[in-house]
């Protein structure tokens, strides 16, 4: 309780410093910055095992023009609380490269209390923290990339004043409750198999495939992924066994918690089959053979180390990707009968042969 009171005092002191000496300005800043969450949102949180101070995470999808607020439940997993329409953002799908390109960023960002601005010229705002370690390793430049109100944008994600007040309140309460920073994941679109297939020829596709790994980890675990940068690439939920993750240096030897590695490998194999099936239908051809990744072998018992990180990332069996189904239903395309033949390769991988021939007993 003392921590929360102190955080409130610090926030108000910051507002005073930003607003100057005009008492009416001070009252206006305090009124905007301290609006409570609506009663219906509070009731939804309570019904889902959340408090107003529970940690949060946000996801942004450009193509769908949606900002999602997720909150941690009493189970430790995160659940979606509310989605907000993005009123406006500038630029196109794709990452931000340089100052002045008027492009809204894509990637993984951390927002702390110092990036919150109750005295924003755009009603209320918080800075995304662009450029992050990944952006800086690529020499990308830009500043003041925010989520804010006023429904106008020059490289930011703009909301209506009413919606940004709620979003700001979620962030304010979580930070006041002790959360050091919250993760904002910004994507070009929902990274489903069909969306990836539809954008396969885009110049940014390789970058989006990298972002998709973080997207998939969250979908599997319902936990914000641990994010590092090495070799100028994002890496997710990996623990360095030797050395440290350095943005511009080669990646150190690392490992992923075993249950997550199994779930993610299964998910990647399912995705590879679905992706090839959809692309083949879009291009009017037969699916190509697909080589699947081997499922990781369990670690020797003597090497198993119980840790907080490992237990947090355990994945329920129900979250492991189910067997592959015919992908034609995803885009409502005519079914293309196929048989899937798995054979072993010299590396222990499986080679999947897809054929339109009808299966016959051998």
- pLDDT bin (cut points 50, 70, 90) of residue 18 is very low
User: Please, what is the average pLDDT of the chain?
Assistant: 84
Residue 157 lies in a domain: yes
Domain end position, chosen among 190, 210, 235: 190
pLDDT of residue 299: 86
Cβ within 8 Å of residue 77, ≥6 positions away: 221, 222, 223
Asked if 157 and 217 sit in the same domain, the reply is no
Q: Are residues 152 and 262 in the same domain?
A: no
Check 87, 114, 138, 148 and give the catalytic one: 148
Out of 190, 212, 240, a domain closes at 190
Q: Does the pLDDT at position 93 exceed 60?
A: yes
Identify the pLDDT of residue 49. Answer: 98
Q: Is residue 119 part of a domain?
A: yes
CA–CA gap between residue 14 and residue 192 (Å, rounded): 41
Residue 135 reports pLDDT greater than 60: yes
Residues 291, 178 share a domain: no
- Together in a domain, 210 and 97: no
Task: Return the higher-pLDDT residue of 27 and 334.
Answer: 27
List the catalytic residue out of 156, 217, 230, 267: 156
156 is catalytic: yes
Q: Tell me, yes or no, whether 229 lies in a domain.
A: no
Percent of the residues in the chain that have a pLDDT greater than 90, as a whole number: 73
Q: Does 162 lie in the same domain as 281?
A: no
Three-class secondary structure of residue 31 per DSSP:
helix
- Residues pairing with 239 in the sheet: 255
pLDDT recorded at residue 354 = 41
Whether 314 shows a pLDDT value over 90: the answer reads: no
Q: What's the confidence (pLDDT) of residue 4?
A: 55
Domain membership flag for residue 245? no
Domains in the chain, number: 2
Q: What is the pLDDT of residue 5?
A: 52
In the predicted structure, residue 222 carries a pLDDT above the cut 60: yes
Residue 148 known to be catalytic: yes
8-state DSSP, 59: E
The torsion angle over the Cα atoms of residues 212, 215, 221 and 223, rounded to 10 degrees, is: 140
Residue-number span of the structural domain to which 68 is assigned: 2-190
* Residues 161 and 212 placed together within one structural domain of the fold: no
> Could you tell me if residue 246 is inside a domain?
no
Residue 344 has pLDDT above 80, yes or no: no
Which one, of 244, 209, 214, 243, lies nearest residue 226 by Cα? 214
Mean pLDDT computed over 280-294: 97
In the predicted structure, residue 334 carries a pLDDT above the cut 70: no
Query: Residue 242, SS3?
Result: coil
Tell whether the model's pLDDT for residue 345 goes beyond 90: no
Residues 185 and 198 in one domain: no
Distance CA 197, CA 182 (A): 31
Mind listing the pLDDT tens digit for each residue in 49-87? Answer: 999 999 999 999 999 999 999 999 999 999 999 999 999
Q: What is the CATH number of the domain that holds 78?
A: 2.40.440.10
Nearest to 15 by CA among 2, 25, 1, 6: 25
């Amino acid at each position: 309780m003392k921590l929360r009171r102190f955080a409130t005092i610090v926030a108000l002191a910051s507002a005073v410093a930003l607003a100057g000496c005009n008492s009416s300005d001070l009252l206006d800043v305090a009124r905007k910055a301290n609006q409570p969450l609506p009663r219906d949102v509070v009731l939804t949180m309570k019904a889902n095992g959340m408090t107003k101070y529970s940690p949060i995470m946000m996801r942004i999808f450009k193509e769908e023009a949606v900002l999602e607020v997720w909150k941690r439940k009493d189970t430790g997993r995160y659940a979606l609380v509310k989605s907000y329409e993005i009123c406006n953002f500038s630029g196109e799908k794709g990452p931000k490269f340089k100052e002045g390109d008027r492009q809204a960023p894509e990637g993984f960002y951390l927002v702390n209390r110092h990036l919150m601005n109750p005295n924003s010229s755009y009603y209320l705002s918080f800075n995304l923290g662009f450029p992050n370690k990944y952006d800086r390793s690529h020499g990308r430049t830009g500043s003041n990339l925010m989520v804010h109100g006023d429904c106008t944008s020059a490289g930011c994600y703009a909301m209506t004043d009413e919606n940004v007040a709620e979003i700001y309140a979620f962030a304010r309460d979580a930070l006041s409750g002790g959360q050091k920073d919250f993760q904002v994941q910004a994507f070009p679109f929902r990274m489903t198999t069909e969306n990836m297939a539809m954008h396969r020829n885009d110049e940014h596709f390789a970058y989006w495939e990298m972002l998709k790994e973080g997207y998939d980890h969250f979908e599997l675990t319902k936990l914000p992924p641990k994010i590092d940068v090495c070799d100028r690439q994002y890496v997710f939920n990996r623990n360095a066994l030797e050395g440290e993750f350095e943005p511009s240096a080669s990646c150190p030897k690392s490992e992923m918690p075993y249950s997550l590695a199994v779930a993610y490998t299964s998910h990647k194999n399912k995705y590879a089959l679905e992706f090839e099936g959809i692309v083949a239908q879009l291009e009017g051809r037969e699916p190509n053979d697909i080589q699947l990744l081997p499922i990781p072998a369990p670690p020797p018992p003597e090497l198993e180390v119980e840790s907080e990180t490992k237990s947090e990332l355990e994945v329920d069996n129900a979250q492991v990707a189910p067997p592959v189904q015919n992908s034609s239903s995803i885009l409502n395309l005519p079914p293309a009968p196929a048989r899937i033949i798995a054979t072993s390769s010299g590396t222990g991988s499986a080679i999947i042969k897809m054929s339109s021939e009808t299966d016959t007993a051998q």
